[in-house]
Amino acid sequence: MDREFLTDLFADFGPVTIRKMFSGHGISVDGVNFALALRAGLFFRADEVTIPDFEAEGSKPFQYSTRAKTVLVNSYWELPARLFDDSEELAQWARAALAAAQRAKVKKRPKGKKAVTKKTEPKKPAAKKRAAKKAVKKTVRRVGKATRPP
C-alpha cells in the first residue's frame, strides 16, 4: 500500500498523517497513531472495547516472527477485507481505532520523577577523591616498608 492509496482510503475519515514506519506506514491523527499499513495488510488499533468487533469479522491480531518465536501484538488487528470497498464503514472503524489509541495513550500517562527518600551524603568532587586515594596508597607503601624484615 502506497501513500496515495492510503490517503484515498481514508478520504471519508478525514485528513491523516502518513509516515514511513517499519516495513510500511504509520497512520495517525494529531500525533496519535491508530493504524499500521504493512506488507501483511492494514491493521487498526484495538482494545477491550473494539476487539470483539474484529473477532466477529474473523480478523486476527498482528503478528510477526523472529528467529526464536512468533510475537502476537494484540493491540493491532487486521482490518476486515470487506471494508476496503465501503469507505463510510471504514471511516467508522477508523474512528473506533483512533478512540482505542487515545484510550491507550491516557492509560500510559508519563510517570513523574519519584521523590528520593534515602538521604545521601553530598558527593566529593573527583579531584578530592583522587587525592584521598593517593594519600591512602602512600600510607600503605610506608607501612609496608616499615614492616619488612631487614
State pLDDT tens for residues 130-144: 777 776 666 656 655
CATH number belonging to domain 3-107: 3.30.1460.30
Q: Is the pTM of this model over 0.85?
A: no
Nearest alpha-carbon partner for 62 in 72, 52, 48, 50: 72
User: Which stretches of the chain are assigned E, i.e. beta strand?
Assistant: 17-21, 24-29, 32-38, 41-45, 61-65, 70-78
Q: Most confidently modeled of 25-34, 107-116, 118-127, 137-146?
A: 25-34
User: Is the predicted pLDDT of residue 108 greater than 80, yes or no?
Assistant: no
Q: Judge whether residue 127 has pLDDT over 70.
A: no
